[in-house]
Chain A
């Protein structure tokens, strides 16, 4: 069974994600009519579209049967895939981070930083993160009664936290934000490196490759510095790590920095911006949340489900397999559609309703299995602290214009959330 062309073209279209409703409608159709079927969008190699929550878990749980690295780990058009392989000596990956790795490398590389991201080790950062959150809230208050919550708070606060964890000086944060947005916003003319609509895939890829190159130049210097003078930061951990007694493969080390410096804040930013947008539109839930701060943890989980900033990852079958009664052949490419899993009617009651007290809320926004988001506990802590500090001070909040979503099909969320507010 093949997905209708219009739906197949929609699920790869960055503009459908910026529209919101178009992508929700496409996934709703698929969950109902063809929950695991093959798509053949123009310009893309065929791939299976996994839309059900249970099937996403099923695929992610079997990380030896469904690999991350055998083909591109995110959706790329055929022409871009070919060009990447030409540039990278046959590899389909522009970077080689945990996202593009499989075992045994994945486990070996993940263990380098895994301990640092466990809740008990993050606890010692909480006071400092709270101080950072208060600083951003003070700056928001100083703006008067209007701001763009996405640009003025949500983009900057998680950026500052992860850069401090990583060891990037504050002065370089604007550059890191710009490079991140160029990478994840490569299809968005307002954010990408070209500053224009990408009409030629080759030019789009060249721009992304330049961005990656700029990251690598930056982190090369940092690696040398941390090898000479290790500090208490993530960069020192990566720079001085060994696997089987050998330093990390240079390209993989650079990719490690890049994923921390990009996914380490953009996802949290998207969720935070989307969370405020949600309560700005729902004054009853805002009042309830303010009156009962014990709802913050469930509100937070609901913001993560609601925004689901990572829209997909791709997997490749390493052997013939069967999922949802569908035969998957060895080598087949599969798209795990997290926003769809997080709106699955079989798992979530009223999935298109934003409920601050949703329970249970077993969303798949962080993925599942061996590749589950390494930074999930840091992200949750950052957001919890921000809401704990912001909500008591926020007397009222409403939209002050129309929020805008980013054009992207991989990592994205709101790029503008104009609000009017009163603060205590």
Chain B
């Protein structure tokens, strides 16, 4: 399971946790999230997220 971070606001998407409140179940891989998805914190498009490793 990987972790992705928004370049604009720092929001972190944990694949293991998903975003159930946005209809993205736990375990959803980044590739499975639609391309038009935007950061829930700041609206940055998916394409502007960077993948980061967990600490």
Residues of A within 8 A of B (CB): 57, 60-61, 114, 117-120, 360, 368-370, 372, 376-377
Q: In the complex, are the beta carbons of B44 and A369 less than 8 A apart?
A: yes
Which A residues are in CB contact (< 8 Å) with B5?
Answer: 118
- A297 → chain B closest CB, angstroms: 15
Query: Which residues of B lie under 8 Å from residue A377 when comparing CB positions?
Result: 10
Judged by DSSP, the binding face of B is loop
A65-B30 Cα distance, complex, nearest whole Å: 28
Complex: A360 Cα to B9 Cα, angstroms: 19
The number of A-B residue pairs with CB atoms under 8 Å apart is 30
Residues of B within 8 A of A369 (CB): 8, 42-44
By a CB distance below 8 angstroms, the chain A residues around B9 are 372, 376
Knowing A61-B38, A118-B5 are in contact, say whether A370-B44 is a contact too (CB < 8 A): yes
- Per-residue contact bits, chain B 16-55, to A (CB 8 Å; 1 contact, 0 not): 0000010000000000000000100111100000001001
Q: How many of chain B's residues touch chain A, expressed as a range?
A: 10 to 19
Check A368/B10 contact, CB under 8 A, given A118-B5, A120-B55.
no
Instruction: Given A114-B7, A377-B10, check contact A368 B55 (CB 8 Å).
Output: no
A360→B43 CA distance, assembly (Å): 17
Report chain B residues within 8 Å CB of A60.
Answer: 43
Q: In the bound complex, do residue B8 and residue A370 qualify as a contact, i.e. CB atoms below 8 Å apart?
A: yes
Q: Which of B21, B38, B41 contacts A372 (CB 8 A)?
A: B41
Complex Cα spacing A15 to B44, Å: 36
**Pick from B8, B21, B43, B55: contact of A57, CB under 8 Å:** B43
Question: When chains A and B are docked, how far (Å) is the Cα of A360 from the Cα of B8?
Answer: 22
With both chains docked as a complex, state the minimum distance between the C-beta of A107 and any C-beta of chain B, in angstroms. 9
Given A61-B43, A370-B8, output 11 extra A-B contacts at Cβ < 8 Å.
A57-B43, A60-B43, A117-B10, A118-B10, A119-B12, A120-B52, A120-B55, A369-B8, A369-B42, A372-B41, A376-B10
Whether A119 contacts B8 by the Cβ 8 Å rule is no
